[in-house]
Amino acid sequence: MSPLDDGARARHRAMGRFLDFLEGKEIGADSRLTPQKRLRFKSMLRAVDGRTNGASYREIAENLFGARRVASEPWKTSPLRDTTIRLVRDGLAMVAGGYLDLLRR
């Protein structure tokens, strides 16, 4: 039995997708995430993976955005530096349990 709370619709949709998977049906992409958010989540996980394996923010940025692009401007004032730091920070929050918020949508 599933409780009828704020997450009931999300659980119902997830169960439907799961049953479709079990029956071998084409599931398709989850429409709750835009392509931009999906790409950001991937980048966040890659950034966290790099950071937990000892990579510097600059090394992570080079991996995500390319070494040439990172080298094209001073690192200390680069918007790519700020973006990389935010990706690591937000990715760590997701790994620490923030991903559960995605399941409640």
Between CA 3 and CA 30 the distance in angstroms is: 23
- Report how far apart, in Å, the C-alpha atoms of 86 and of each of 23, 28, 78 are: 40, 29, 13
Between CA 59 and CA 28 the distance in angstroms is: 34
* Structure confidence by residue, pLDDT tens digits, 51-94: 999 999 999 999 999 999 999 999 999 999 999 999 999 999 99
pTM of the model: 0.74
Q: What is the residue extent of each domain of the chain?
A: 1-31, 32-103
Between CA 13 and CA 26 the distance in angstroms is: 15
* Structure confidence by residue, pLDDT tens digits, 13-56: 888 888 988 999 988 777 778 889 989 999 999 999 999 999 99
The one-letter amino acid code at 9 reads: R
